Chains A and B, each alone.
Chain A
């Protein structure tokens, strides 16, 4: 009955490699997000998709490319990994209602360590 799931949970890789993180939600939501939580525990949004359309794109290196094949999935591909990419990446989802509060539900996180 997992609401928002991410794979893998842990990812250890070498600098320069390319890796992907997958996210799926079974809540029927139309909006999904990627957040990065760095070593200082600061959580910052990276991207958001609404109905498969990119709606938020913060200042993120273009080595990071999100892809949303459908409303229930939002994947994150990272090219040429750097040491500074080491962090916890959280996926989240919500149901968009303009002008109203909404709750975002987070996945368990993917811990990425770049060596």
Chain B
């Protein structure tokens, strides 16, 4: 079983739609959680950290459920520029090793 599992998609949504991605992780000792975004043929970039109480950054909302070992990302009012692959990332204890999910591809169409 992969340490971080994501639905690969693609999710095809129209502009303005709300879309949610889910991610599960297997290591209950995982400390920190993130969503990274990767555009086609580009490097991954941090989208947002995920906090236990849930957090919001503009149109993006991240949630963490430690009991279920589940992380989510909600994107409201999708824009064409949101089209990318969204990577669920966990950080385990020790020297900041990040473990990446395989990513969920989002395609926002006009």
List the interface of chain A (C-beta within 8 A of B).
Answer: 31, 40-45, 48, 50, 55-56, 90, 94, 96, 99, 101-104, 106-109
Contact A108 B96 (CB under 8 A): no
B91 in contact (CB, < 8 A): yes
- Name the contact of A42 in the complex, choosing from B45, B46, B100 (C-beta under 8 A): B100
B75 CB → nearest A CB, Å: 20
Contact A90 B43 (CB under 8 A): yes
Number of A-B residue pairs, CB cutoff 8 Å, is 47
Contact B96 A94 (CB under 8 A): yes
- Name the contact of B95 in the complex, choosing from A31, A41, A101, A103 (C-beta under 8 A): A31
Most buried by A among B44, B46, B96, B98: B96
- Name the contact of B100 in the complex, choosing from A40, A43, A56, A103 (C-beta under 8 A): A43
B10 CB → nearest A CB, Å: 12
List the interface of chain B (C-beta within 8 A of A).
Answer: 31-32, 34, 42-46, 49, 85, 87, 91, 95-100, 102-103
Please name 11 further chain A to chain B contacts, defined as beta carbons within 8 Å, in addition to the given A101-B32, A106-B43, A109-B42, sorted by A numbering. A40-B102, A42-B100, A45-B97, A48-B95, A55-B95, A56-B95, A94-B96, A102-B96, A104-B46, A104-B96, A104-B98
In the complex, the chain A residue whose C-beta lies closest to that of B49 is: A101
Contact B43 A103 (CB under 8 A): no
B32: chain A residues at CB < 8 Å are: 101
A45: chain B residues at CB < 8 Å are: 97-99
Most buried by B among A40, A48, A55, A104: A104
Known contacts A41-B85, A101-B32; decide if A56 and B97 are in contact (CB<8 Å).
Answer: yes
In the complex, the chain B residue whose C-beta lies closest to that of A6 is: B43
B3 CB → nearest A CB, Å: 10
A48: chain B residues at CB < 8 Å are: 95-97
What's the Cα separation between A101 and B91 when bound, in Å?
A: 8
Known contacts A43-B87, A48-B96, A94-B96; decide if A106 and B45 are in contact (CB<8 Å).
Answer: yes
